[in-house]
Structure 1
Amino acid sequence: MKPLLEHMVKALVDHPDEIQVKEVIEGQTLRLQLFVHTDDIGKVIGKQGKTARAIRTVLSAAPSPHKRVQLDIME
């Protein structure tokens, strides 16, 4: 799941080298914490959160042993 998220986000941002993804497993939930450069936060979230929503949709459709996948976008 981590490589998929990194691949999608690298195509969107101006500072792809500063992307970090941390995976935290909480029961049957996989929480992905995405850290991006401050200037790239708006690009990852998108207008009215549409880009972030699309990323979450792709992550939830990808095969995973976890019942639920959550995405947190951090600075």
Structure 2
Amino acid sequence: MIELIETIVKSLVDYPEDVVVTVNEDDRKITYNLTVHKDDVGKVIGKQGRVAKAIRTVVYAAATNESKRIHLEIM
């Protein structure tokens, strides 16, 4: 899943080397924390959050076989 998130986000940003995805997992959910360069935050979020919503939709669809809930947070 980390590779999927990195692949999507690195194609959108100007500083792909600064894309970092970390994972926090507990009993009920898996949280992916996405960190990008400060100049690329707007590109990842998009107008009215449309790009962020699209990224989350793809990630959630790819995780349908997981037994835990998946969350993607953009830091």
Counterpart Cα distance in 2 of 1:73 and 1:66: 23
Count of residues in Structure 1 that have an aligned counterpart in Structure 2: 74
Kindly report the root-mean-square deviation, in angstroms, between the aligned alpha carbons of the 2 structures.
1.1
Cα distance change on mapping 1:14 and 1:59 into 2, 3 Å: same
Counterpart Cα distance in 2 of 1:39 and 1:66: 35
Structure-1-length-normalised TM-score: 0.92
Q: How does 1:1-75 map to 2 (within 5 A)?
A: 1-63=1-63, 64-74=65-75
Secondary structure at 1:14 match in 2 = coil
Kindly provide the amino acid, as one letter, of the partner of residue 22 in structure 1.
T
Cα distance change on mapping 1:16 and 1:66 into 2, 3 Å: farther
Provide structure 2 residue ranges, at least 5 long, that are not aligned to the other structure.
Answer: none
Deviation of the 1:27 alpha carbon: 1.5
Deviation of the 1:33 alpha carbon: 0.3
Runs of 4+ in 1 over 2 A off after TM superposition: 63-67
Secondary structure at 1:34 match in 2 = strand
Counterpart Cα distance in 2 of 1:6 and 1:67: 21
Provide structure 1 residue ranges, at least 5 long, that are not aligned to the other structure.
Answer: none
